[in-house]
Structures are given as C-alpha cells and as structure tokens.
Amino acid sequence: MSVTDLGQKRFRFTTPFFQFSPSALITILFWAFTTSIALATNVPFKPVVLFQGEVQPGSYLHLIDSGIHRFEQSTGISVKRIQLKPSNTGYLAELERAAQEGYSPVIVQDSNAISSFPEVAKQYPSVRFISLDVAYHVPNILGITFNHAEGAYIIGYLSGLKTKTNKVGFIGGIDVPVINHFRCGYQLGVKDANPKASVTSRFINNGAYSWDDIDTATKLAKQLLNQDIDVIFPVAGYASLGVVDTIKKQGHGYSFGIDFDYSHDYPNTTLASLEKKVDVAIYAALMQLNKGIWTGNHKQFGVKQNVISVSINQNNPDLTPSDKEKVNQLLVELKGKSSIISQKIDQHCTSLL
C-alpha cells in the first residue's frame, strides 16, 4: 500500500476529530484562559490561520483545523485558512501580509522554527497572534504551550519496560527546544523504568519540510532498527508515519502514536499514543478572543488539563495487565498536586522551553 493510500485510509475514528472530550474539559480550559483579570480590547475579530504544508488527515495540522472547525460551528464565524508550501521565508512573508490586511488573531502554527516571528509581531502591536508551542515576552502574542515531557515520560517508561535489547530510539522532526522537551521527558521515563536502557536520538532536520518528510523518517527508522533498537518514539508530525509503517512492515519492534491514537491501524506494533489535544486548546483560545478577552500572553496545558494524555493500545497482545495498570498509575500521579515526576520534569526539562 502506498503512503498516499495510507494517508487516505488509515485514520478511521469512531468519532469525528471535531468532537471533543466531555464538556467539563472545555470548562476547565475556559477557566485556565480566564484565571487572570480579563481585559476587554477593541481589536477587530478577523481570524486567520497559516498552515505550513498540507492539512493531511490525521496530521497535527488536521487537529488544529478541527479545533477551528468546532469554533466555526459554535459561533458561525468563519476563519480564513491560508495553506502554504513548506518555506519559513514564505511563511513569514505571508504572516506579515495577514497582519497588514487587518487579520486578528493570526494563528501561527509553525512559530517554533521561525526565530524572527516575534520581531514581526512587535511591528503590529494592535494585531493579536496565537503562537502554538512557543511563548514569547511580547504583549500581543498569546503563546499556547504544552507540557509534552509529561506525556513523553509515560511513553519512555513503557519503552523501558518493553525493550528486549535495552536499546530504544527517538526520532524528532527538527532539533528545536519544543521537540527536545519531548525527548527529555522520554529519556527520564526510560531511565526510571530501566536503568540499563540507552536512548539513541535522530532528527529529520529537513527545514520546514521535516514534518512531512516520510522518506527520511523511514530511513532513520531502518537505521535504528539495524542497530538492534527495538522501540522507537517518533515526534515528527505527519512524517512519523515513516517510523510506525516501517516497524509494522518489518514485523518486529514497537513504536508509538503521536498527537492522536494510532492503535486502530497499528494494533500489534504500537504500544500507546501520546495525544496532544491542540484542537481543544485552539477552540478555547478562539472562543475567549472572540469575546474580546486577553488574559495574559502564555497558557500552558498538560496532563492535569487532559490536553496531554497517553492512550494505551488495548489491542496490542504484548501489553500485560501490569503494563496497562502502570500507565494509568502514572497518569493519576501526574494529575496530583505534589507529583515527584512533575518535579523531576521541571528540574530537567523546563529549561528547554
């Protein structure tokens, strides 16, 4: 089956992307956005989102689009979508053009790879920007960040339990702080579960195209498997398909889903999936900004808010009841007020953001 066929076929869900968790989750997120004093603004609400790359079914971009779609359904307000070919220079130029044309808020999907973005935002102080994954000390940028290391810790712990060679791997899209935040949590989890295990990391590092570069992801996965690595955690957006498909085809080893649950299409080779519900966070942010509310320029979400979560693959025959119980136990612990794991993540990983 071709990669194109997989992209069209593999993401079959029992519920559509734009159906969310119970209403309590949305309530929690609204609370998170309004914990400080709300300041009404006179900035016109004319939203636009800039996508870098194709909005593929089951991709991170599709999750963002699903949150926007939910907002449109709830309010009747249309959000303009601009889809660009992977190019940081082109993306930055289009972002500035959107600001000049009076769009606000401008949803910046790929700010983590564009270092000059905050300088552009400063030139348009009346325009609101929503930056995903990166926060800045710029008053008109709302940075929505996620505690990826919490979910990655659980993925790492499970990797440490299930490896038979004591060699596990990590494949990231780009060597940037937000991806290294995943990697840091993963490494901590692996070591806590299995002090004998080692982690080998590789990055696609193909510029803006990295998140769609399935070929390079496939090549890196084969290299790691040839080094006797038997568990690989991919954090490379749509390109992660190159990793999970390689392991499925080779018939040995394990991988993980990223951003959403992969278990339906990879029942025997994925152990779990790190779900990053950016759709819920985007929906909540747009609802608040539509009301003219600006409550500070940084909001972070993690396991406590159910935005970062780990879904165990109930179909995988190699997962024991003890494995599943441990994952649930770690999730409960991370939701607690005085989590030792959270303290360890803060100590080792927070500086990466």
For the segment 53-71, what is each residue's pLDDT rounded down to a tens digit?
889 887 899 999 999 999 9
**pLDDT (average), residues 242-262:** 95
Judged against a pLDDT cut of 80, whether residue 40 lies above it is answered with no
Residue at 345: amino acid letter: I
Q: Tell me, yes or no, whether 116 and 49 share the same domain.
A: yes
**pLDDT at residue 6 in the model:** 38
pLDDT band at 42 (very low <50, low <70, confident <90, very high): low
Q: Are strands 231-235 and 254-259 parallel, antiparallel or unpaired?
A: parallel
DSSP letter (8 states) at residue 272: E
For range 94-118, the mean pLDDT = 92
Q: Which of 286, 301, 316 is the last residue of a domain?
A: 301
pLDDT at site 132: 94
Of 211, 288, 266, the C-alpha closest to 54 is 211
Q: For residues 336 and 302, what is the distance between their CA atoms, to the nearest angstrom? A: 12
Asked if residue 186 and residue 139 are part of one domain, the reply reads no
Residue 43 has pLDDT above 80, yes or no: no
The predicted pLDDT at position 111 comes to: 84
Q: Which residues pair with residue 176 across a beta bridge?
A: none
Task: Domain count for the chain, please give it.
Answer: 2
**Dist CA 167 CA 228 (whole Å):** 7
More confident residue, 28 or 85: 85
Ranges of H-type helices in 85-213: 88-100, 117-122, 148-162, 177-193
Of 231, 309, 224, 315, the closest CA to residue 266 belongs to 315
Within this chain, do residues 109 and 172 fall inside the same structural domain, yes or no? no
User: What domain range is 64 assigned to?
Assistant: 3-147+278-301
Instruction: Compute the average pLDDT of residues 21-30.
Output: 52
Shared domain for 12 and 135, answered yes or no, is: yes
Tell me if 197 sits within 8 A of 168, measured CB to CB: yes
- Nearest-angstrom CA–CA distance, 89 and 236: 21
- Do 153 and 293 lie in one domain? The reply is no
Residue 138 and residue 106 in contact, taking contact as beta carbons nearer than 8 Å? no
114 pLDDT band, cuts 50/70/90, is: confident
- Residue 113: the pLDDT is 77
My answer on whether 207 and 73 are in the same domain is no
Confidence of residue 118 (pLDDT cuts 50, 70, 90): very high
Q: Where are the alpha helices (DSSP H) in 76-143?
A: 88-100, 117-122
Q: Are 150 and 334 in contact (CB under 8 A)?
A: yes
Among residues 17, 228, 225, 184, which one has the least CA distance to residue 244? 225
The stretch 1-14 carries a mean pLDDT of: 37
User: Which tokens belong to 25?
Assistant: 């989750």
Is the pTM higher than 0.85? The answer reads yes
Neighbours of 302 (CB within 10 A): 20
Work out the pLDDT band at 208, boundaries 50, 70, 90. Answer: confident
In the listed set 301, 316, 339, which residue is the last one of a domain according to the structure? Answer: 301
Helix (H) or strand (E) holding 214: helix 214-226
Half-sphere exposure of 148 (CA within 13 A, CB side): 22
What is the 3-state composition of the chain as percent helix, strand, coil, each rounded to the nearest 5? Answer: 45, 20, 35
Res 29: pLDDT: 57
Q: What is the C-alpha separation between 306 and 51, in angstroms, rounded? A: 25
Give pLDDT, residue 26: 54
Number of C-beta neighbours around residue 73 at 10 A: 11
Residues 326, 198, single domain; the answer is yes
176 and 79 housed in the same domain: no
Asked if residue 55 and residue 23 are part of one domain, the reply reads yes
Q: What angle do CA 45, 50, 52 make, to 5 degrees?
A: 170
- 306, 277 contact by CB (below 8 A): yes
| Of the listed ranges 16-20, 98-102, 314-318, 338-342, the one predicted with least confidence | 16-20
Regarding whether 135 and 16 lie in a shared domain, the answer is yes
pLDDT of residue 14: 34
Collapse the DSSP code of 308 into the 3-class scheme (helix H, G, I; strand E, B; otherwise coil) and give the result.
strand
In the predicted structure, residue 287 carries a pLDDT above the cut 80: yes
Q: Are residues 137 and 200 in the same domain?
A: no
C-alpha span between 47 and 308 (Å, rounded) = 25
Residue 295 has pLDDT above 90, yes or no: no
Percent of the chain, pLDDT > 90?
Answer: 76
Whether 326 and 339 share a structural domain: yes
Phi, psi of 145 (to 5 degrees): -115, 165
> The CATH number of the domain where 76 resides is what?
3.40.50.2300
Which of 254, 306, 320, 247 is CA-nearest to residue 275? Answer: 306
